[in-house]
Amino acid sequence: MDSIFFITTMALAIAIIIPFYRVAVGPTVYDRILGSGVIGTKTIVLISLVGYLFNRFDMFVDIVLAYALLNFIGVIAIAKYLERKEAQK
Amino acid sequence: MALHDIIGSIFLLSGAFLVLIGSIGVVRFPDFFTRTHASGKCDTLGLALVLLGLAIHEGGTLNTVKLILIAVFIGIANPTATHALARAAFKLGIKPLLSTSKEEKQNDLAD
């Protein structure tokens, strides 16, 4: 059973590295935010899986809950900021 | 391998597969608005499946409730965030790539 958790963690680790290409290359600034948003949401699950592998799942679930909220608010704040910036132009 | 282990691992592996597909989609899609599909939909389901797989494996403790709460929150928050991004991008005048034929694609990128 633990090997399945390990396989999932490896898959998630690879899935986190891939969007860095989009963050680096992304033609528009929105692609970069999208890439970082994708990485943010993936770290949510990676932290909970790593927490499970460290057998301290109680602590990590709370960290994951807080991080999910922060990541969402971050993306919304940046999107709102870019809308306002366009209005001033 | 008890039954709940099997079900949990099915959830986990399918979730991991979807998460991989989501991140590949974010890189390979031709246009920003198509990438929001990969990020908003594919990631959300993949993460929800992995979290539910963990919740099944936890089984009945307080952590299960928290995991299901996170899965529901991501199901609501992730599409909303990508929608806000796509709306901001559209307002700034980024045009979605409507045609896929090669030469029109060049013209779109040119202007």
What are the tens digits of pLDDT across the range B10-66?
999 999 999 999 999 888 888 888 888 888 888 899 999 999 998 988 877 888 999
- The rounded average pLDDT for each run of 10 residues, N- to C-terminus, in chain A (89 residues) is 87 91 87 90 90 87 91 91 71
Question: How much is the pTM?
Answer: 0.84
Which of A17, A18, A72 minimizes the C-alpha distance to B70? A72
Mean pLDDT, residues B76-91: 89
End-to-end CA distance of chain A: 56
Look at chain B and count its residues. 111
Q: Do B16 and A37 touch (CB under 8 A)?
A: no
Of B26, B32, B47, which has the smallest distance from its Cβ to A30's Cβ? B32
Of B66, B69, B88, which has the smallest distance from its Cβ to A82's Cβ? B88
Residue B103's pLDDT is what?
Answer: 62
Residue with tokens 């597909």: B21
Residue A71's pLDDT is what?
Answer: 92
Q: Do B85 and A75 touch (CB under 8 A)?
A: yes
Residue B73's pLDDT is what?
Answer: 92
CA distance B104 to chain A (A): 18
Per-domain residue ranges for chain B? 3-110
From residue A73, alpha-carbon distances to A40, A56, B82, B109 in Å are 11, 27, 12, 32
From residue B68, alpha-carbon distances to A19, A71, B61, B90 in Å are 26, 18, 11, 33
Q: Do A15 and B17 touch (CB under 8 A)?
A: no
CA distance A35 to chain B (A): 7
Listed in order, strand segments (DSSP E) in chain A are none
CA distance B77 to chain A (A): 6
Residue A87's pLDDT is what?
Answer: 62
Residue B111 predicted with pLDDT over 60: no
